[in-house]
Structure formats: structure tokens, C-alpha cells
Amino acid sequence: MAVRILIAALLILFVSFAYAFDPDPLQDFCVAVKDDEAKVFVNGKICKDPNMVSADDFFFPGLNMPGNTSNPLGSKVTPVNVNQLPGLNTLGISLVRIDYAPYGLNPPHTHPRGTEVIVVVEGTLYVGFVTSNPADPNMKNKLFTKTLYPGDVFVFPEGLIHFQFNVGKTNAIVFAGLSSQNPGVITIANAVFGSDPPINLDVLTKAFQVDANVIKYLQGQFCRHFSFSTYQKLFSSTSLQIKLNTSLRNMHLSSLMARQVNIYASDPSPLQDFCVAVNDSNAAVFVNGKICKDPKMVTADDFYFSGFNKPGNTSNSVGSRVTQVTVNQLAGLNTLGTSLVRIDYAPQGLNPPHTHPRATEVLVVVEGTLYVGFVTSNPAHPNMKNKLFTKILHPGDVFVFPKGLIHFQFNVGKKKAVAFAGLSSQNPGVITIANAVFGSDPPISRDVLTMAFQVDKNVIKYLQSQF
């Protein structure tokens, strides 16, 4: 028994090392250069010459000032990320202040690149997040909620849909840390019903299982509310405006790019050849990922899965079926940061708008014609919309859906379609927007949804009844 506990403890250490994802800066700092006029774009931001760096590069004043909550939602987020505070570049963290009027709502949204930890400074908040789709199709996305008072702290895990609602009679204030210099925000209602251009009506009608008129009505709400999103604030007061000599810049760019790519690499770093997952359905101890099987017991079958030639059953309300090979089906994937799916689509079949909280997806069409798309996270400028990128794909075509963004595929051909996709996580997770928002267990409060979608309570009731 003692030996087993010791082994478990060692395994836990090992596994958490294998999954560490803090950034690994290669220097003390890499203060971001303002890249408004950049002609070359890198992952993150180019560093300012270290000799030019001053204390002000690490400084942002004014977070004592309340945000203006005079807007339809009654809340305001003031971000301090790398766009406001260039010293955050490469350091994997940022901060926000959120103000709420009485009954103000920070509506259901995700951060594609960050976990969020909040502390309530003033007021009473009803907060919650919804888990990604459960393994068992008869289960629902689970809603965790809590009422928070001053001094209370709550965590919203990376990529999951969450919200905060001021249920007190006075103003509320929170501060929150986020585990990315640029966590991004996807306000579900805006991204789904207010993208530019709009998501195809057939896609949304099928995804939300409602009449086209309901979708048109919802879309109508977001055509009018341009400045509706709370996370949109353009930064205007940089203390230092760096004018880079173009030729100097070009000279150093290639080496800078190499550096940036290293800093932001997110592939896993296994500490051994493999760590085949132990089937832990009866585990008493839970770790990040899965505990490794004794390497001496590992066989070829641990790396093997068969049956991907068989079509999935598309007889369901959306006319599509995803067959997964994640670490739950193929134990050898453990610690290796990748998985695979097969997707079958009946004619007019839809893989409805969803996100993968932990993965980028790259898809190849094997058969049929797919209309696919993804929506960017909220733009920096409040007059802009979440942008929709779409494409018609034919056999052999490949398309990428970046990590955490809302995306879909729709079979627009007259025959069935088949695609395979690789995902950059052994357990990417899926959040089907319609189900998570309108079908969680227990349901998200109607007050929250009514305000978030800017519609009548009856519309929300109707949508909830579909899931």
C-alpha cells in the first residue's frame, strides 16, 4: 500500500512536469514594440531594444478608475494585456478590472488562450462556467455556479464558457488574472449571431434546432449593437512610440521570429519515449492527463486503434457524427499532444458551431463538399465585429481551425461527406455552443441568457426547450 502511494506521488510529479505549460522566456524580458505599422507579423510581439527599456514599459496606471457601465449589459471590462502593457510580452499573464452596475452582466464568453482567476473586491456576483461536452452522450454539459462576496476567489478553466452576474443592489468590482499575455475573448452571442459576415442561416437553424425566424431575430439583435461587447477597448496612450528604422528591422526580423516561435511553442515536451495511459476509470487519484503504464508491460496494441474505415451513424438531428481517437480510446497518445477524429456528414449534415478548449484542428476532406468556417475572437476596436472566415472544401482540401475559436462544417453537397482531422491535444475537449449555453445541467439562469442575447425571456425558454 505504502509503495503504491509513493508510486502514485512520483507519477503525479512526473505527469505534471510533462504537462507544464508556463511560458519559457529566453531572457529577463522582451518588452513589446508597438506594431501598428508592422509589415511582418510574428507570434506575440517583437522585442524592443533592451537598452531602450525603462520602468514605464512595465507600468500601467489608472486601474483604480471605475469602468463606464452605461451600456446594454451594465458591465465594463478594462484589460491590461500586452496591448496596454508592453512589458507583458512573452510572460504569459495579464490582468483585467471588471465593473458591474446593479444587475450588470459579463455575458457568456470564452478565453481561447487563458485560464482566469478572479477576486471580488466589492459587491455580490453570481458566477458560473460550463464544462465541455461529456463523454457520455446522455449526459449534459455541467454548469458550476457560485455566489461570490468580497474577498472570494473563483477560477474559470482555460477555454470554457463562463459569465459573472451582479445580483446585488450595489455596484460590483472584480480583478482577474489571466494566464496569457493576450488571452482573447469570444462573446458567444456576438460571435455566433453577430459575426461579419453572418454565419449561414441554415447552419444556425440546424445548430440551435429552431425556426429560421428565431435565428433571424437573434441575428437582428447583434446587427444593431455594435459596441455591445464589454471586452473591447482600444488602447491609445502608449508612453513610448517606437519608430523603428525599417532597414534595421528587416535585418533583425528573421532572428527575432525564430526566438518568438520558440517562446510560444506549445507542443508538449515528453520526458520519455512514451507514457501509455493506464485505464483509470476506477482511479482514486486524479492527475493532469493520465498515469503511465509500466513501460515493461507496454505492447504495440497500446498504440493501435482500428475501425476508422467505418462510417459513423449520422441518423441524428444534425446529420453528422464525430468518431474520436483521443487518449480515451488510444492510451498510447498520453503526453504526446495529439489526437484524431473522423467526421461523417449526411447530405445537409452539420457539425454545429463548437470550440476545442485545448486544441487547434487541421481537417482534410476525403469525400464530398463542405462549407466550413471559423469566427475570430472579439476585435480590439468596438466598431468592428467578430470576423467570419469561410471556405468551400472539396476532396483533398485542407483547412485549419485555430485553437479555441468557434467553428463548424456543413455538407452542402447532395451526397455524404467524410473528413479526417488532427487535433493538437491528446484530449482536446469539445464545447458545442448551443448545447453548452442552452442545455447545461443545471440550466444557466434565464436572466443571464436574456441579457446576454438581448432577447425576450420567451425566446430563451424556447431555445432551452430544444436541448
Asked if 309 interacts with ligand NAG (CB under 6 A), we say no
Instruction: Show binding-site residues for oxalate.
Output: 106, 111, 116
In the complex with ligand NAG, the residue whose CB is nearer, 18 or 327, is 327
Asked if 383 interacts with ligand NAG (CB under 6 A), we say no
In the complex with ligand NAG, the residue whose CB is nearer, 218 or 346, is 346
SS3 content of the chain, % helix, strand, coil (to 5): 25, 25, 50
In the complex with ligand NAG, the residue whose CB is nearer, 68 or 458, is 68
Cα dihedral 165/168/173/176 (nearest 10): -40
Which of 328, 326, 332 lies closest to 276 in space, CA to CA?
332
Q: Which residues of 180-218 are buried (b: 16+ CB within 10 A; e: fewer)?
A: bbbbbbbbbbbbbbbbeebbbeebbbbbbbbeeebbebb
SS3 readout for 192-236:
HHCCECCCCHHHHHHHHCCCHHHHHHHHHHHHHCCCCCCCCCCCC
In the complex, minimum distance from the CB of residue 226 to ligand NAG, in angstroms, rounded to a whole number: 12
Which of 91, 59, 263 lies closest to 181 in space, CA to CA?
91
In the complex, minimum distance from the CB of residue 26 to ligand NAG, in angstroms, rounded to a whole number: 26
In the complex, minimum distance from the CB of residue 99 to ligand NAG, in angstroms, rounded to a whole number: 11
In the complex, minimum distance from the CB of residue 279 to ligand NAG, in angstroms, rounded to a whole number: 4
In the complex, minimum distance from the CB of residue 310 to ligand NAG, in angstroms, rounded to a whole number: 10
In the complex, minimum distance from the CB of residue 248 to ligand NAG, in angstroms, rounded to a whole number: 6
Instruction: Show binding-site residues.
Output: 106, 109, 111, 116, 162
In the complex with ligand NAG, the residue whose CB is nearer, 369 or 425, is 425
Binding mask 216-255 for ligand NAG (x = CB under 6 A): -----------------------------x-xx-------
Are 216 and 193 contacting, i.e. CB atoms less than 8 angstroms apart? Answer: no
Question: How many amino acids of this chain bind ligand NAG (CB under 6 A)?
Answer: 9
Are 207 and 408 contacting, i.e. CB atoms less than 8 angstroms apart? Answer: yes
In the complex, minimum distance from the CB of residue 331 to ligand NAG, in angstroms, rounded to a whole number: 6
In the complex with ligand NAG, the residue whose CB is nearer, 239 or 313, is 313
In the complex, minimum distance from the CB of residue 72 to ligand NAG, in angstroms, rounded to a whole number: 10
Judged by CB under 6 A, the residue of 262, 279, 317, 465 near ligand NAG is: 279
In the complex with ligand NAG, the residue whose CB is nearer, 110 or 187, is 187
- Bridge partner residues of 351 (DSSP): 409
Asked if 315 interacts with ligand NAG (CB under 6 A), we say yes
Which of 219, 204, 199, 205 lies closest to 373 in space, CA to CA?
199
In the complex with ligand NAG, the residue whose CB is nearer, 48 or 111, is 48
Which of 144, 146, 156 lies closest to 124 in space, CA to CA?
146
Q: What are phi and psi of 453, to 5 degrees?
A: -100, 0
Binding mask 287-306 for ligand NAG (x = CB under 6 A): --------------------
Judged by CB under 6 A, the residue of 313, 317, 458, 465 near ligand NAG is: 313
Q: Which residues of 396-433 are buried (b: 16+ CB within 10 A; e: fewer)?
A: eeebebbbbbbbbbbbbbeebbbbebebbbbbbbbbbb
Which of 446, 455, 384 lies closest to 72 in space, CA to CA?
455
Q: Which grid cell is 467?
A: 436541448
In the complex with ligand NAG, the residue whose CB is nearer, 376 or 411, is 411
Which of 63, 56, 49, 79 lies closest to 239 in space, CA to CA?
56
Judged by CB under 6 A, the residue of 281, 306, 309, 383 near ligand NAG is: 281
Site for ligand NAG in 21-80 (CB under 6 A): 68, 70
| Contacts with ligand NAG, residue ranges (CB under 6 A) | 68, 70, 245, 247-248, 279, 281, 313, 315
